[in-house]
Amino acid sequence: EDKVVQSPLSLVVHEGDTVTLNCSYEVTNFRSLLWYKQEKKAPTFLFMLTSSGIEKKSGRLSSILDKKELFSILNITATQTGDSAIYLCAVRGGATNKLIFGTGTLLAVQP
Amino acid sequence: DGGITQSPKYLFRKEGQNVTLSCEQNLNHDAMYWYRQDPGQGLRLIYYSQIVNDFQKGDIAEGYSVSREKKESFPLTVTSAQKNPTAFYLCASSTQGASYEQYFGPGTRLTVT
């Protein structure tokens, strides 16, 4: 069965800390891996990764994919309270090419 | 402004009643999706549609129904057969293709008592 596993499930840090969120997957017919940030309502798109070893970066956020070891990490440096959210990892693949979501990591950044 | 709208934001219903959640997009996307989000379980796919007048069941379709009569609209009906309907419902849309992102609406929180 295709699955996506995120860790940790939740995390509490202080402003200025650096965090690493993990996403591992077992998905047949892998096409891409996506990261979303969800703050109370709609998940907003962060990154889409298709190739191993190529880092994607946006401000203080960066992400990389390892297709050999079947995982991705999302790094957030110099965290701010506005980074508090659920971070969702999803993999496109499987028999029907749909997005398969992990359970998410709840990040709380304290002042 | 392009985007996806869902209405209402909050919905309360009595057990045994059917309820329809609205989802509209003006992004000209072919594909639309309905997800359910429960605490600790991530997003689970209910139904999806890749083209007008066609839709497929997702992983948890029992107790739900959809229609896709227009490209812009993909309403979801939660029927009385759904055993545990209280949840946060998210609609999404995307273009077609091997690698594409989905855009999400703001969600509807349904409470059934």
**What is the spatial distance between Cα B44 and Cα A105, in angstroms, rounded to a whole number?**
16
Flag if A45 and B45 touch (Cβ within 8 Å).
no
**What is the spatial distance between Cα B17 and Cα B14, in angstroms, rounded to a whole number?**
6
Cβ within 8 Å of residue A81, ≥6 positions away: A15, A109, A110, A111
Residue B97, CA distances (Å) to A84, B29, B31, B101 in order? 32, 11, 10, 10
- Residues of chain A with Cβ-Cβ distance to B40 below 8 Å are 9, 103
Residue pLDDT, tens place only, B33-84 = 999 999 877 899 999 999 999 999 999 999 999 999 999 999 999 998 888 9
pLDDT attached to residue B96: 73
User: In Å, how far from its chain's centre is CA A68?
Assistant: 17
**DSSP secondary structure of B1-42:** ---EEEE-SEEEE-TT--EEEEEEE-S--SEEEEEEEETTTE
| B24: its two tokens | 């509209």
Residue pLDDT, tens place only, A45-104 = 999 999 898 999 999 999 999 999 999 999 999 999 999 999 999 999 888 788 999 999
3-class DSSP assignment, residue A81:
helix
User: In Å, how far from its chain's centre is CA B59?
Assistant: 13
**DSSP secondary structure of B41-72:** TEEEEEEEEEETTEEEE-TT-TTEEE--SBTT
**What is the spatial distance between Cα B73 and Cα B32, in angstroms, rounded to a whole number?**
8
Cβ within 8 Å of residue B86, ≥6 positions away: B110, B111, B112
B97–A contact, CB cutoff 8 A:
no
How much of chain B exceeds pLDDT 70, in percent?
A: 96
Given B4, B41, B45, which is nearest A98 (Cβ)?
A: B45
Max Cα distance, chain B (Å): 41
Residue B99 has pLDDT above 70, yes or no: no
| pLDDT class of B95 with cuts at 50, 70, 90 | confident
Flag if A88 and B102 touch (Cβ within 8 Å).
no
Neighbours of B98 (CB within 10 A): 9
Given B41, B48, B101, which is nearest A45 (Cβ)?
A: B101
- The answer to whether the CB of B63 falls within 8 A of the CB of B69 is no
Q: What does the DSSP 8-state code read for residue B73?
A: B
pLDDT attached to residue B112: 92
